[in-house]
Structure 1
Amino acid sequence: MKRDYGQLFALDGRVAIVTGGTGILGRAFCRALAEYGAHVVVADLQEEAAISLAEQLEVETGVTCLGLGCDVSDEASVERLVAQACETFGRIDVLLNNAASKSRDLEAFFAPIETYSLDEWRRIMAVNLDGVFLVSRAVGRQLIVQGEGGSIVHTGSIYGRLGVDPRIYEGAEYLGVAINTPPVYSVSKAGVAGLTRHLATLWAVHGIRVNTLVPGGVQSGQNAEFVERYAARVPLGRMGTSGDLVGAVIYLASDASRYVTGQELVVDGGLSAW
C-alpha cells in the first residue's frame, strides 16, 4: 500500500503562535504555517502590524488567524497572549519563539565590548533570552494541561554556535551605522540552545518536542560590501533569505519531525561546515 508521507507535514487545524511575527523571518514563518493549514497567532510588539498580517493571511489562505500585541519580555503580556490564543482557538499546538530585540539605539547595540553598556546588555537579554523562557513557560504549561504533546521551535543563530569572523564586517553598514555581531547577541542565542536541550528532556514525558532553528546570515538590508564578504564565507556562495528557512520550520512544527527533540537544525548554506 502506498503511504502518503506528504501528510506528515500537514498542520490542518493546529494552532501556532509566532512571536516576532511581523519581522523579516516572522512574516515568512506565519505565512508558511497558514498555507500548511495552521491557525496562526501573529504576536508582535507592533500590534497593528500583527493584526494587519493576520487579516491578510486569512484572506489569502482561508484559515482563521489572530493578530495580538505582545512584549515577550513582560510576564503579564506573555500570559495575556497565551490566554487570548486559548480563548479564541481553545488550544495551542505549536510555538515559534522567534522574537528578538531591535535595539532602540543602534550605536549602543553595535558598540565595542570594551565600552558596552550593561543597560543595553540587559535590554537585549530581556527579549532574546528572558522572552524565550517566559513564552516557553506559558505555552509549555498549556501544552501539559492539554495532554496531547506539541512542538516548540526557538529561533537561534549560527553565532550561538560559532565565533564571529571580524573580517566580514570591515566596511559593513546597516541603516547607515557600522555593524558587527555584539557578544550579547551570541550569548543570548547560545543560551536559547541550552534552554532547548533542557526543556526537551524535561518535557519529553509530556510528548512536547523542543528544538532550535539555527539560521545563518539572512540578507535584510545590509550594505553590498557586507553581503559580498559574507557570501564569500559560505560554501553555497550567498546569504540566506527568509524563504530558505520555511521548509525547516514546517518540518520542526509538524509530525514530520515527530522523533526529533533537543536538536539544533542548522540552515546556513554550509558556513559551519568549513
Structure 2
Amino acid sequence: MASLVAHGARVAVVDLPVVPPDWFAESESICYVHADVTDRCSLEAALTCIASRWEAPFGLINNAALDSPPGSPAEENGPFESYPNASFRRVMEVNVTGVFLACQVFGGAMAKAGRGSVVNIGSTYGLVSPNQDLYQFRRDAGEEFFKPVAYSVSKSALLNMTRYLATYWGEAGVRVNTLCFGGVFNNQDERFLVEYAKRVPMRRMAREDEYNGAAVFLMSDASSYMTGATMIIDGGWTAW
C-alpha cells in the first residue's frame, strides 16, 4: 500500500468493519472503507463511497482470503478425509466468490470507464500442491496437522478466473493478472522456517516488502501490454 502511494496512487482499503491496525492512518491518499467481499450490495456501497470521495477506481487488488494456519480448529488441520464441508465452503466463499463479486462490481465499473487493472492475489499453493512433508515435524511431535485442501483449490480457481476476465475485458481496456506469492516471513515457528528454507532455492522466506515492486508494476502503465498472465514471485519454490 505504501509503495503504491509513494508512486502517486490513492488507495482505498476495503475490509470488514473492524478497527484498522495501529499502523494504518488515513490521509489524502489513503482511506478505509467498510465492506464484506461476499456481499455484492456491500461492495457496491464501497464503490459509491470511494467514487464520491475521489473518483471511480481504475485499479483493484483482490487480496482478501481465508486460510487455516497452525492454531486453527483441529478439525480444519486434520486429514483430508475429515475436512469439514462447512470450512471448505467458507474458504471458497471468501477466496473465490469474494473475488468474483469484487471483479463484477469494481471491474465492471472500470470496463464502463474504458480502463483499469485488476490483480488477483494467488499463491504457490494454487500452482503446485502443498508439500505435506513441510509439516512432518508437527506430526512427529504428536500434532495432527495437514495443510488443508480448500486454500489450494481456491487459489487455483483464481488462475482461470483471471484468464477468463482478461479475455472478456480485453477490448474494454481492463487488464487482469494473477500475482502468485511464496511464503512470507511472519515470525513463524523456527522448525517451520528451517523446513521451508530446505525447499526453496533462495533458502529463506520472503520479506513483506519484496512483493511491493510487482504490485506497483501491475497497477501501472509499465505493464500496459500484460493481461491474462500469472506472475510468480516465490524465491524459486515452484522451480523444483
Q: Could you state the TM-score of these two structures normalised by the residue count of structure 2?
A: 0.91
Match of 2:12 among 41, 62, 69: 41
Q: Does 2:91 correspond to 1:120?
A: no
Alignment correspondent of 1:190: 156
Q: Secondary structure at the match of 1:99?
A: coil
CA deviations on 1:181-232 (whole Å, 9 max, x unpaired) are 2110000000011100000010011110000110011122421111110111
Q: Does 2:35 correspond to 1:64?
A: no
Q: CA deviation at 1:31?
A: 1.4
Write the distance in 1 (CA, Å) between the matches of 2:23 and 2:53: 17
Aligned Cα root-mean-square deviation (Å): 2.0
Match of 2:214 among 240, 248, 254: 248
Match of 1:78 among 35, 40, 43: 43
Conserved? CA contact 2:66–2:151, under 8 Å = no
Conserved? CA contact 2:123–2:181, under 8 Å = yes
Q: Secondary structure at the match of 2:176?
A: strand
Structure 1's consecutive aligned runs of 4 or more residues displaced over 6 angstroms after TM superposition are none
Q: CA deviation at 1:257?
A: 0.6
Q: CA deviation at 1:127?
A: 0.4
Q: CA deviation at 1:105?
A: 4.7
Q: CA deviation at 1:238?
A: 0.4
Alignment correspondent of 2:62: 97
Q: Secondary structure at the match of 1:66?
A: strand
Write the distance in 2 (CA, Å) between the matches of 1:105 and 1:78: 28
Write the distance in 1 (CA, Å) between the matches of 2:55 and 2:12: 12
Cα distance change of structure 1 residues 201 and 139 upon mapping to structure 2, 3 Å threshold? same
Query: Map of 1:120-199 to 2, 5 A cutoff?
Result: 120-147=87-114, 149-172=115-138, 179-199=145-165
Alignment correspondent of 2:166: 200
Write the distance in 2 (CA, Å) between the matches of 1:114 and 1:81: 39
Write the distance in 1 (CA, Å) between the matches of 2:82 and 2:198: 30
CA deviations on 1:128-151 (whole Å, 9 max, x unpaired) are 00000000110111112222x110
Write the distance in 2 (CA, Å) between the matches of 1:179 and 1:248: 32
Percent identical pairs in the alignment equals 37
Q: CA deviation at 1:179?
A: 4.7
Alignment correspondent of 2:176: 210
Conserved? CA contact 1:42–1:54, under 8 Å = no
Conserved? CA contact 1:47–1:67, under 8 Å = no
Alignment correspondent of 1:257: 223
Gaps of 5+ in 1: 1-29
Cα distance change of structure 1 residues 161 and 109 upon mapping to structure 2, 3 Å threshold? same
Q: Does 2:59 correspond to 1:88?
A: no
The aligned length equals 235
Q: Which amino acid aligns with 2:130?
A: V
Q: Secondary structure at the match of 1:139?
A: helix
Q: Which amino acid aligns with 1:235?
A: P
